[in-house]
Amino acid sequence: MKYASIDPALFVQNRSKLAARLRRNSVAIVHAADIMPRSADGVLPFIQNADLFYLTGVEQEDSMLMLFPDAVEEKHREILFLRETTEHIRVWEGDKLTIEQAQKATGVKTVLWNHEFPLLLRTLGMQADTIYLPINEHVRASQYVETADLRFVKHCQSIFPLHHYERLAPLIYELRCIKSPLEIDLLQEACDMTDAGFRRLLGYVRPGVWEYEIEAELAHEWMRRRSRGFAYPPIIASGVNACVLHYVTNDHQCQDGDMLLLDVAAEYANYNADMTRTIPVNGRFTKRQRQVYDAVLHVFRACYTLIKPGVQLREYQKQVEAEMQEQLLMIGLLKPEDVAKQNPEKPLLKQYFPHGTSHHLGIDVHDVSPPNYALRPGMVLTIEPGIYIREENLGVRLENNIVITEHGITDLMANIPIEAEQIEDLMNA
């Protein structure tokens, strides 16, 4: 791994919290992510199952965690199964984790090789009354691939057809959406890396540069700081491209007079930042660009007063949209008479602000949380309003990452330039 070692106390604490929520005499089993094929003998880069990483910190394929808090023998209460290094693996892939290394990194005392899993599954499964299994329950989860967790659901039910089964996702989502101080430190590191990359770009962007060249500058800055690279596919969108919410081709040349929307952020130790800034390619805002930019910045600032403990995100979104509607009226994109007779189910502002303002952030960029969960201290979210005017080749979005606290919020990106004057000064320094 590129990043500094994570204190195993984080993973010990996470497992302890989950174990306390399981029914009496229950087993919970979590698998590593699959290595995904590309074509021929190629594979995609391995990214660990977020739940398994949250509970163990292990980034190795073919790994499994079994939790059985009420097991008769203490050694069976936490078991980590790993792929054992063979001579063939050593030659072609390098050494895998040893048992001692895994024990030190995870805090799990019982670490076994994978070939011992089938027998222990049957032995311990017969002692349990309930089996907890995870599947991806994110509201926008992809259903295109049958994951290791999904395959194991079928396998487990074939072995234990009469057991009681429970969903692990609601329990672990409740835990993952509240970040510990150690997790917030990792997120802060990702945000600080993002800051460094953005400041590097402010001295680099100019008319004639290509979007992919900007992408390369960021990749260089972050990878040399021990990041895996981008937290998500980067959006580097100049001109009208900024009006495409998930524009990722990054293959246009930046033109004099255009604005450049940068939805880019670094990853660190599997924790992800998520930042958006919008800057003038030539280093100076036009009057209209500044007008739209200030409108978005006004809504952005208003969000800081609206998002707080106890708030439901859907109610917060309605309040943000009310702020945005006022700004759209002020800059002439909406007319009062049209707003007065609009369909409340299809508000006119949606044509200029079609997305939500905040989402959870953590090991996943769109991190998990229980549905309809009021905001609580320890949650980390984005704030990202935007205005997109296709007919003017102009899109502006601003985004920071914040932590909900007992008394309000803490901004993890407070040091990243955002005021228009700051942007202009740094681009023209």
Question: Is residue 76 annotated as a catalytic residue, yes or no?
Answer: no
- Give strand pairing partners of 229: 267
Question: Is residue 397 annotated as a catalytic residue, yes or no?
Answer: yes
Q: How far apart are CA 75 and CA 37, in angstroms?
A: 36
Question: Is residue 399 annotated as a catalytic residue, yes or no?
Answer: yes
Question: Is residue 251 annotated as a catalytic residue, yes or no?
Answer: no
Q: What is the 8-class DSSP label of residue 333?
A: S
Order of strands, edge to edge, in the sheet holding 266-268?
A: 229-230, 266-268, 271-272
Find the catalytic residue in 31, 76, 176, 397: 397
Question: Is residue 258 annotated as a catalytic residue, yes or no?
Answer: no
For residue 165, give the nearest of 23, 4, 9 by alpha carbon. Answer: 23
Find the catalytic residue in 221, 274, 323, 364: 274
Question: Is residue 384 annotated as a catalytic residue, yes or no?
Answer: yes
Find the catalytic residue in 23, 200, 226, 355: 355
Question: Is residue 301 annotated as a catalytic residue, yes or no?
Answer: no
Find the catalytic residue in 138, 151, 206, 246: 246
Question: Is residue 338 annotated as a catalytic residue, yes or no?
Answer: no
Question: Is residue 59 annotated as a catalytic residue, yes or no?
Answer: no
Find the catalytic residue in 21, 290, 366, 376: 366
Find the catalytic residue in 51, 59, 189, 384: 384
For residue 50, give the nearest of 145, 191, 126, 149 by alpha carbon. Answer: 149
Question: Is residue 221 annotated as a catalytic residue, yes or no?
Answer: no
Amino acid (1-letter code) at residue 104? K
Could you give the angle at which helices 313-330 and 287-306 cross, rounded to 10 degrees?
150
Q: How far apart are CA 37 and CA 416, in angstroms?
A: 38
Q: Which residues of 90-122 are buried (b: 16+ CB within 10 A; e: fewer)?
A: eeeeeebbeeeebbebbbbebbbeeeeeeebbe
Question: Is residue 359 annotated as a catalytic residue, yes or no?
Answer: yes
Confirm if 413 and 401 have CB atoms less than 8 A apart: yes
Dihedral sign from CA coordinates of 155, 158, 159, 165? positive
Find the catalytic residue in 359, 376, 392, 411: 359
Number of H helices, E strands in the chain: 13, 17
For residue 250, give the nearest of 283, 218, 289 by alpha carbon. Answer: 218
Task: Measure Cα distances from 14 to 142, 167, 168, 173 in Å.
Answer: 26, 18, 14, 12
Task: Look up tokens 């002439």; give the residue.
Answer: 332
For residue 33, give the nearest of 124, 150, 114, 122 by alpha carbon. Answer: 150
Find the catalytic residue in 263, 267, 367, 424: 263
Catalytic residues: 41, 246, 263, 274, 355, 359, 366, 384, 388, 397, 399
